[in-house]
A and B are shown apart, each in its own frame.
Chain A
Amino acid sequence: MSTAIHPAASFELEQATEPGMDQLLEISMGPQHPSTHGVFRMNVVLDGERVVRLKPVFGYLHRNHEKIAENETYLGSMPYTDRLDYMCPLTNNWAYALAVEKLAGIQVPERAEYLRVITGELTRLQNHACLIGFLMQDMGASGTPLMYAFRQREIILDLFEALTGARMMCNYMRFGGCRVDLPAGWLDQAKKVVAEFPRFLDEYERLLVGNEILMDRTQDVGVLSKELAINAGISGPMARASGVDYDIRKVDRYGIYDRFNFRIPLGSHGDVYDRFMIRVLEMRESVDILQQAMRDIPEGPIVDPKTKIRGFRPKPGEAYARIEGPKGELGFYLVSDGSPNPYRYRVRPPSLINLTILEDLCLGRNVADVVVILGSIDIVMGEVDR
């Protein structure tokens, strides 16, 4: 006979310490749950339908991104950054290129800056289109809204494929510019796509915005207060939906964002509905930026001729560069010791930091709301786990 305490006995002990614990149900949502946007797991303690406690468990998609990058040349890490937030590879490329350029003091030619803005804003369009589709899917609107969003996303991904060669793993930016110039006819095609994008948004708004079920499911659900958003370091559309006026495109004015005329939409309630609407409004602003950028794009070189692909060794030093990714502040921190690979390479992923407040948003809500709240945070596990 074993003398060890039976698991049930230890559970009883725990029950004894916390009154009412026998009424609670602990369930594990994920990592294979279809609503969790990848391999994310939540240990949820439920009192009936209500969430009493929620503990996020992640790391299922950990690929050692930072350590790989420390053993890889600077250029060799560029394709790996595509795989961080695999929905928006081009903004990841941009942030990393920006960090290396800061580290090595490389200037970017004018045309390359415009190309970066164009591809970056197209990325934002397709990321947000995808997100609102997924959010509706999480809410139970199976199929229709997601398919409309994906139809639109595919048109943008075709543009990416024609320019960079790949729909998702673009590997397009280089230190001091971009890899290839626009192919013939690309700009006209892109102008057409961007001009037709508001039509998709109008259609989407007619489809959903007045919908009573959508309002019931999203309004006053998962309210994130302005104070909490600031204290927890939330960035991107999440923070702006709570009324925090913070957009790195305006704050840092990296690249050439000071040349464009655009507004930053802000929410007032910070609930899921605001987070949904903020994305729709941001897409309209992105369309504005794209139209200005595609009108003004100059001719010229696309890459600084002084930078070399092989044997790139920046001087010892450190640099942190950040951009306004579609999900929030995406930053890369690099330390160079003068060797061909970075001494330290760190990613500041917006998804992970936006995810930290999940429990605060979910407490007291129903299980079904957890799925919706998680959907509105906009995470990609490739970036959370790295």
Chain B
Amino acid sequence: MVGEGILKGLAETARNFFGSYVSKDRLTTVQYPEQREPQIEATRDFPFLVYDGADWKQGMRCVACQICEKECPPKCIYIDKSKDKKPDAFGKPQFYPATFNIDISVCMSCQICVEVCPFDAIKMDVDYHLSSENRFGGLLLNKQRLSKSNEYYNAIHPTEAAAIDAQRAEEQAKLDAKAKAAADAKAAAEPKAAAEAALARKVPAQPSAGDPQ
């Protein structure tokens, strides 16, 4: 019968239409601004800079090594290295970025900057509410706008951030142990050194003592 195939197809649309009232997987859309889909953990859009502690200027992990600037495929990162050095989170004096701009209108969210960063300083954000009235300045993010705390990073990518925190804590512990060992060695060496010093003082004294004069 002509039209049988069409009727069969219409039965299918009817099943979907009425099914959408009862079955969740037939009704897949959400009413966006009011309802939102849960965030998928691995999601990425644009890079941001991680800082430790409360002060973004003090705790910035970036040491302005400029690897990400060099490796970025569309070349959207602009870094100026500082002239002086500041102590980083591990207390080692490091350079810091005097300017760090990312033009997110050029960025293509490939996350190669994240992969090449040896300091875990640059990570991918998930914030997609980025519209701006200013076409150029509004999408050129400077250091301050890029800086986000480690707590924020932990909130958006928990698994990844926890692994990095553990790794950094281990490094810190190693450094502490090293510092402690050095201090211990110094402390252990101190009486010995003092004794040696005393001995050294004595040594020239001895001949004087044994001086026939």
A residues contacting B by CB (< 8 A) are 72-73, 75-80, 82-83, 144, 148, 151, 154, 158, 161-166, 169, 171, 179-180, 183-184, 203, 206-215, 309-310
Contact = CB atoms under 8 A, between A and B. Distances in A.
Contacts of A310: 67, 71, 116
Contacts of B116: 309-310
A171 B42 contact: no
A208 B6 CA distance: 8
A165 B111 contact: yes
Contacts of B16: 148
Contacts of B11: 206
Contact of B108 (A72, A148, A169): A169
A166 B108 contact: no
B118 to A, nearest CB: 10
Nearest to B17: A144
Interface string B105-125: 000111110011000000010
Interface string B24-57: 0000100000000000111110000000000000
B5 interface: yes
Nearest to B11: A206
A165 B4 contact: no
B130 interface: no
A169 B13 contact: no
B28 A165 contact: no
B12 interface: yes
Contacts of A210: 4-5, 8-9
B73 interface: yes
Contact of A165 (B6, B42, B73): B42
Contact of B73 (A79, A151, A309): A79
Nearest to A159: B40
A207 B44 contact: no
Contacts of A161: 40, 42-43
Contact of B42 (A82, A83, A163): A163
A195 to B, nearest CB: 13
A179 B3 CA distance: 51
Contacts of B44: 165-166
B71 A73 contact: yes
Contacts of A75: 71, 112
Contact of B5 (A148, A211, A309): A211
B4 A183 contact: no
Nearest to B160: A180
A67 to B, nearest CB: 14
B73 A76 contact: yes
29 contacts: A72-B73, A75-B112, A76-B71, A77-B73, A78-B112, A79-B73, A80-B73, A82-B110, A148-B16, A154-B28, A164-B42, A165-B43, A169-B109, A169-B110, A171-B111, A180-B42, A206-B8, A206-B9, A206-B11, A207-B13, A208-B9, A209-B5, A210-B5, A211-B6, A212-B3, A215-B5, A309-B115, A310-B67, A310-B71
- Nearest 7 Cβ contacts at the A-B interface: A210-B5, A79-B110, A76-B73, A165-B44, A211-B5, A207-B12, A165-B42
A144 B3 CA distance: 18
A177 to B, nearest CB: 13
Contacts of A213: 6
A141 to B, nearest CB: 9
A171 B110 contact: yes
Nearest to B124: A165
A84 to B, nearest CB: 13
B13 A79 contact: no
B172 interface: no
B154 interface: no
B25 to A, nearest CB: 9
Contact of B9 (A158, A163, A211): A211
B73 A212 contact: no
A358 B69 CA distance: 44
Q: Which of B8, B44, B110, B115 counts the most chain A CB atoms within 10 A?
A: B110
Contacts of A144: 13
Contact of A183 (B3, B28, B41): B41
B58 interface: no
A134 to B, nearest CB: 18
Contacts of A309: 115-116
B2 interface: yes
Given A154-B28, A166-B109, A169-B109, A183 B6 contact: no
A148 B13 CA distance: 10
A183 B43 CA distance: 12
Contacts of B124: 165
A297 B177 CA distance: 42
Contacts of A82: 110
B17 to A, nearest CB: 10
Nearest to B114: A165
Nearest to A169: B109
Contact of B28 (A73, A151, A206): A151
Nearest to B110: A79
B206 interface: no
